[in-house]
Amino acid sequence: MKGYTPPVSSEPAVDSAMREALALSLNGRGGAFPNPMVGAVVLGNGDGGSLVVGRGWHGCCGGPHAEAVALDEAGELARGATLVVTLEPCGHTGRTDPCVERIISSGISRVVAAMADPDPRMDGRGFEALRAGGVEVEVGLMAEEAARLNRVYLHYKRTGRSFLHLKLAATLDGRIAARDGSSRWITSGPARARAGSMRAEAGAVLVGAGTVLTDDPSLLPPEPQSPAYCRLVAAGRRPLPAGAKVFDRRARTVVAHPGESRPYWVPEGVDTLPLPEGPPGLDLHALLEGCASLGVGEVLCEGGAALATSLVSEGLVDRLSFFTAPALLGGEGLPVFGPLGIGSISEALEIEDARIEILGCDVLVEGGIVHRPG
C-alpha cells in the first residue's frame, strides 16, 4: 500500500516487551541523568518466545545497566532468547562493564532495540559489535516513543545543556500579573495541580529574582519530594532577602549569579553557580550548561516575564506549557513577554505539535517553539 510503513516488528510478544521496556525505563527518571533512561526485557524461548524471563532498568548514574539487570534475572534462560531494549547497548567500559560483551556471553541470539545511542562512543558501534558476535539485531521498534521518553538525554547529548521546560499562566489578555505584581492565583485548582506535577517530573524549578522578590514562592513539588529536587534562582544585581521561602532548608537551592564572588546576601547552606553576564542578565546558555553539570537533566522555568522573555529570545525553550485562564487584567497588567524582535505576523514564533487540554476552566497549550533561522 502506497505511503504505508510497516511496523519494524509484527510479533505481538516483542511489541508488548518493548512497551514494557519503555515503561520500565521511566524508573530512571531523575536518577539516570546524565546517562539515558533505559529499560530491557528478556523474552525466553518458552511459550513460543513470549515468556518474559528478565526485566531491568537503569536507575541511577553509576548503577547497573538495564540489560545487565535483565540478564541477571534471566540467568541460563537467556540462552537463545531475545533481548528487547529501548536504546543501543553500550560497547565501551565506563563505570560498568560493556553490555555488548555481556549480551554475547549470555547467549542471547537476537536483540530488538528501539534506537541508536547518539553518544559519539556508540552511535551504532554497539549494534556492529553485537552483529560481529553473531547476534541478530533489529533497530527501530517504537523509536519515536523511545526518543520522546529520552528527550532529556538526547537533548543533553546534542547541546550539553539541561532541557528547558517553560511554564507560564496568563489571562485571556496575555497578562501574567496585575499592576501591583500579584499573580496568585490566575489559574484554578486543576491547572495548579497539573503545574505541581510538572515540578515533580522535571526535578528542578527555576525562577527569576523578580519572582522571588514579588511572590516569595517556596517552589516545592507535591509530596513525596525527591531528595535530588532542586530550586534554582536566576539572580541579578538586586539582593534577595535571607528570609525568602526559597532559602528554607526544605530542598536544595542554587543561586545562579553574575560574576565570580559569592553574593553576600546568599544564606549559608545555599549553593551558588557563578556565571558570565549577557546584556539582559545572566548568560542563560551558561546557566543551562551549569544546570547539566549539577546533574539536573530537566529544568521547569516558572517565570517571570523578564526571564521567560530572555529564554525565548535566546531560543532556549525546549518545551512550552502555557495555561490561559478566563480572566482579564487589562493594559495595567504585566504582559507575558517583553519585546521578542517580531515585526510582522510572518515572523510569529509558532508552537509545533501543539497539544491542547482543558483543566477546569483553564486551557493548557503545550508544544515546542519553532525558531526560524536568520
H/E element holding 253?
A: strand 252-258
Residues 118-122: contacts with CB within 8 Å, 24+ apart? 118/154, 118/157, 118/158, 119/157, 121/90, 121/91, 121/92, 122/88, 122/90, 122/91, 122/92
168 makes contact with ligand NAP (CB under 6 A): yes
Comparison of 124 and 259: residue with beta carbon closer to ligand NAP: 259
Please, which residue, 63 or 196, has the CB nearer to ligand NAP?
Answer: 196
- For cell 522571588, the residue is 212
CA pair distance 366, 374, nearest whole angstrom: 25
304 is an interface residue for ligand NAP by CB under 6 A: yes
Residue span binding ligand NAP (CB under 6 A) among the ranges 65-73, 91-99, 281-289, 361-369:
281-289
Of 118, 210, 221, 290, the residue at the interface with ligand NAP (CB under 6 A) is 210
**Is 266 among the residues that bind ligand NAP (CB under 6 A)?**
no
Q: Is 219 left (phi over 0), alpha (psi -120 to 50) or beta?
A: left
Query: Binding residue for ligand NAP (CB under 6 A) from 39, 281, 297, 333?
Result: 281
Residue 305 binds ligand NAP, judged by CB under 6 A: yes
CA distance readout (Å), 124 to 27, 112, 160, 305, 319: 25, 13, 21, 43, 28
| The one among 49, 196, 280, 295 contacting ligand NAP by CB under 6 A | 280
Nearer to ligand NAP among residue 31 and residue 304 (C-beta) = 304
Going by C-alpha positions, the residue among 286, 239, 294 that lies closest to residue 267 is: 239
Q: How far is the CB of 311 from ligand NAP (least distance, A)?
A: 8
Residue 357 Cβ vs ligand NAP, minimum distance, rounded to whole Å: 17
Using the rule CB under 6 A, is 238 a contact of ligand NAP?
Answer: yes
Main-chain phi, psi angles of 312, to 5 degrees:
-65, -45
Phi, psi of 61 (to 5 degrees): -60, 130
Closer CB to ligand NAP, 65 or 167, in the complex: 167
CB-nearer residue toward ligand NAP: 113 or 287? 287
Shortest approach of ligand NAP to residue 189 CB, angstroms? 16
Give the long-range contacts of residues 66-70, CB within 8 A, separation 24 or more: 66/21, 66/24, 66/25, 66/38, 66/39, 66/40, 67/38, 67/40, 67/99, 67/102, 67/103, 68/96, 68/97, 68/99, 68/102, 69/40, 70/40, 70/41, 70/42
* Min separation Cβ 211 and ligand NAP, Å: 3
Q: Which of 11, 67, 277, 347 is catalytic?
A: 67
Site for ligand NAP contains 205 (CB under 6 A): no
User: Is position 112 an interface residue for ligand NAP (rule: CB under 6 A)?
Assistant: no
- State whether residue 136 is helix, strand or coil: strand
Q: Output the residue with the shortest Cβ distance to ligand NAP.
A: 236
Could you confirm whether 67 is annotated as catalytic?
yes
Residues acting as catalytic residues: 67
Contact positions vs ligand NAP (CB under 6 A) = 168-169, 176-177, 181, 183, 186, 207-211, 214-215, 234, 236-238, 280-282, 284, 302-307, 310, 334
